[in-house]
Structure 1
C-alpha cells in the first residue's frame, strides 16, 4: 500500500487525549498524518492545524444558537467557530483518508473529504454526551442526532468504544460500528508487593461532576485505618473549582492524597505501586451506564485489583476474568462493603489474575482493529479511483 495522506480531526486537546494519541500511532504507520485540534502538534503528526483555545467546537455564537433554536440542523453542522477555522485552514488540501473523532467532527470531515473515505470514531453515545446540562439537552442533542442520522451511513467506517454503545448505534442509525476499546498499550510490569499495614486505593481521571468522586472520599473516611486513597486528577473546564471542593471535602484527612496528574503514557507505571483501582460512577445517563473508560485499562496495565460499581461493561469484564470486586450499588456503604470484602490475600491473588489478562486487555488487540479499519477504507478509496 502506498503511503496515505491522512487527516485526523479531534476537537480536543490532542496531547491529553489518550484515545486519539493511540489512534495517531496507528495512522502514522500508514502515511503522513495532518491533525486538527486544540493544543500543540502531537508527536505522530507530520503537520498540525492548531485551533485557538477560545474557539468553541459547537455553534455557541449568537447566530449558531439561533440556528439550533430554529432547528436548522443542516446549517448548524458547520457553524461552530472551531469548525469554521479548520475548514478555512485546510481549504484546497486533499487527503486519502479522513478520521473524525466524535460526532461534532463528522460534518467537517465530510465537507473536507472531496470524495475520500471518512472514518467516524465515536468515543461515546453522541446523542447523550452531556444530557445532564439542560441547554445541551435542548439545543445540542438534536444536532447530534441529526449528524448521526445524516452521516453515519455515508461514512466508510464507524467505530465506538464498547459493544453496548455499538448496539445503540445499530438500533437507531442502522450501522454496526467496529468496537475499539479504550485500552492502553501493554506494559511490562509486575504486580507490586502489598504494604502489610495499608490497602492502597487509587483513582485517576478528570475532576468533573457526575463521576461520584465524593463517594471515594467518603468511603475512604468510612474505611478508616488501614486504607488510603491517592487521586491523580486533571482539573475540569471550571478552572479547578470542583477539584478544590473535593480537596475541601477530604478535610485534610491524612489517608487521602491529591497528586499532580501525569501523562497517559506515564500513568500505568505510576499506578503500579497501588493495590486497587476504584471507579464507582452511577448510571445517571447512557454513557455512564455503559462506560468502559481509559482508566479501567490503565488499572489493568498497572496490575491493580479493580473495584467498580454495577456498570454494565466494566462489571462484565471484572466478573468474566475475576479482576476484582463489583459493589452492589453506588452508595458509600455499598462501596465500602465491597472494599472490605477483599483481604490482603484476595488482593494479591486478584493482581496476579489481572497480570495474566493484561495482554488480552491491551491495545495490541484493539490496535489491530484500527489497522483493519484503515486498510478497509483505503481499499475503498482505491477502488473508487
Structure 2
C-alpha cells in the first residue's frame, strides 16, 4: 500500500492491548503502518519491530536510576533499555507520522528520522501512573512530568481516555488532548442472556496486576456463597511474577471461582455474554484509578452485562445515568458483597436490559470519528485541532 508511512510505538504487547488494536484499525486506513512493541506483530501491521519483553521501557539501569535521582532528564530520556534497542532497530528509517502510545514513548518518537508529525495517545494521566509505588513516586513521576512538559507542547495532536483527565493535562501543561474513550464497536448481534435459575454469574476480565484488587472479587464471591459464581479471564504480567503465583493459589482455594485463559480482545464480548454481572473493584491509589474509564467497562456493556464497579467519578456517572447496575461505595470485599447482594434477580435482569439499551450510545462510533478526523488533519492536510 502506498501513502503515508506511519510508525506506531507502544511499549506493550499490542496483540492484547485493546486500545492500540483499535487505533491500528484506524491507522491502516491512512497509510502503511509499522508497529514497534513487545510481542509479535499485530495482524494490522505491514511491518513490525519486536522488542524483547524483558527490556524495561523506563531507565531502570544503575546509570539510569542515578540520572533520574539527579534529575538529569535530558541525559536519561533515551537510556531505557527498550528505548535504546528500539532506536537502534529504527536506524535511519523515515516516517511521516509517529503515534506515541503513552508519554514514555515521546522521547523516542522525537528522534525518529524524517521529521514526522507526532500524535501522542496519552491513554491516562502519565505523571501519576504508579505513584502508589515509592520508587515511581520519587524517581519516575518527576521524569514523566518533565517529559509531558517538554514534549506535549511540540506534538501535532494528542488524545486521552476521558474529559476529566484531558482537563488535568490542560491545567498542568497548557495542552488539552481530545477524548478517545476505550469504547469498543457496537455489537448489534448480542442480546442479554437469560438468568441461570441456580446462580448469578459474575465475571471479570483484565490484567493480573498487583493493585487491581482481584483478591477482593474472589473473597466477595466466597462470602456471597451459594447462588453466585465468579469467572476470571486474566492476562498474566509479562514476568509472571510472585503476585501471579499467589493469585493462582488464592483462586484455587475458592469453590465459587474459576480461572480461564485470557481471551483476545475481539472475542471478549462473545465470551462475556454468557454471564450476568461484570465486576471490578479498584482502590484509588492514583489519579488514574480515581478517574478510571477502563476497557472492561465497555466490554461489559457490549456483552450486555449488568455492572458492579467500585466508586470512581467517570464510571459512577455512566452506571447511574444508564441504570447499568450498582456502585460499591468502598474498595473491599465487604462493599462488593453489599452492592451485589442488594441486587435482586429482577435488578440483575433489568441491568442487563439497560446495557442492551445503552450499547449503541456507549460504543466506539464517536471515538472512531474523532480519530479519523485527527488523522485526516495530520496526514491529508488541514489545521490540527491540537490546542
What is the TM-score when the length of structure 2 is the normalising length? 0.94
1:73 equivalent in structure 2: 73
Per-residue CA deviations over 1:320-348 (Å, capped at 9, x if unaligned) read: 11111112222322211111121111111
Separation in structure 2 between the aligned mates of residue 195 and residue 239 of structure 1, nearest angstrom: 34
Instruction: Return the offset for 1:201.
Output: 0.4
Whether the 8 Å CA contact 2:218–2:254 is kept in 1: the answer is no
Instruction: Return the offset for 1:245.
Output: 2.2
What is the TM-score when the length of structure 1 is the normalising length? 0.95
Partner SS for 2:212: coil
Whether the 8 Å CA contact 2:277–2:308 is kept in 1: the answer is yes
Partner SS for 2:44: coil
Instruction: Return the offset for 1:35.
Output: 0.8
Separation in structure 2 between the aligned mates of residue 158 and residue 90 of structure 1, nearest angstrom: 23
2:49 equivalent in structure 1: 49
1:369 equivalent in structure 2: 370
1:23 equivalent in structure 2: 23
Instruction: Return the offset for 1:250.
Output: 4.1
Separation in structure 1 between the aligned mates of residue 254 and residue 116 of structure 2, nearest angstrom: 56
2:296 equivalent in structure 1: 295
Instruction: Return the offset for 1:237.
Output: 4.0
- Change in Cα spacing, 1:381 to 1:296, as seen in structure 2 (3 Å) is same
1:312 equivalent in structure 2: 313
Instruction: Return the offset for 1:87.
Output: 1.7
Q: Does 1:268 align with 2:269?
A: yes
Let me know the Cα RMSD of the aligned residues. Answer: 1.7
- For structure 1, list consecutive stretches of 5 or more residues without a partner in the other structure: none
1:32 equivalent in structure 2: 32
Separation in structure 1 between the aligned mates of residue 368 and residue 65 of structure 2, nearest angstrom: 38
Separation in structure 2 between the aligned mates of residue 213 and residue 8 of structure 1, nearest angstrom: 31
Separation in structure 1 between the aligned mates of residue 59 and residue 332 of structure 2, nearest angstrom: 38
Separation in structure 2 between the aligned mates of residue 336 and residue 59 of structure 1, nearest angstrom: 42
Separation in structure 1 between the aligned mates of residue 79 and residue 253 of structure 2, nearest angstrom: 46
Separation in structure 1 between the aligned mates of residue 160 and residue 252 of structure 2, nearest angstrom: 39
Q: Does 1:186 align with 2:203?
A: no
Whether the 8 Å CA contact 2:304–2:356 is kept in 1: the answer is yes
Instruction: Return the offset for 1:213.
Output: 1.3
1:335 equivalent in structure 2: 336
Whether the 8 Å CA contact 1:152–1:173 is kept in 2: the answer is yes
Whether the 8 Å CA contact 1:183–1:366 is kept in 2: the answer is yes
Instruction: Return the offset for 1:374.
Output: 0.6
Please show how residues 1-385 of structure 1 align to structure 2 within 5 Å. 3-112=3-112, 114-187=114-187, 188-250=189-251, 252-379=253-380
Separation in structure 1 between the aligned mates of residue 238 and residue 134 of structure 2, nearest angstrom: 17
- For structure 2, list consecutive stretches of 5 or more residues without a partner in the other structure: none
Per-residue CA deviations over 1:258-317 (Å, capped at 9, x if unaligned) read: 111111111111110000000111111111111111111110111100001111111111
Separation in structure 2 between the aligned mates of residue 176 and residue 340 of structure 1, nearest angstrom: 41
Separation in structure 1 between the aligned mates of residue 115 and residue 237 of structure 2, nearest angstrom: 38
- Change in Cα spacing, 1:80 to 1:100, as seen in structure 2 (3 Å) is same
Separation in structure 2 between the aligned mates of residue 357 and residue 378 of structure 1, nearest angstrom: 34
- Change in Cα spacing, 1:83 to 1:36, as seen in structure 2 (3 Å) is same
Whether the 8 Å CA contact 1:236–1:242 is kept in 2: the answer is no
Whether the 8 Å CA contact 1:4–1:32 is kept in 2: the answer is yes
Q: Count the aligned residue pairs.
A: 382
Partner SS for 2:99: strand
Separation in structure 2 between the aligned mates of residue 186 and residue 241 of structure 1, nearest angstrom: 38
Per-residue CA deviations over 1:3-44 (Å, capped at 9, x if unaligned) read: 221111111111111111110010001110011111111111
Which shifted more, 241-250 or 254-263? 241-250
Separation in structure 1 between the aligned mates of residue 249 and residue 272 of structure 2, nearest angstrom: 24
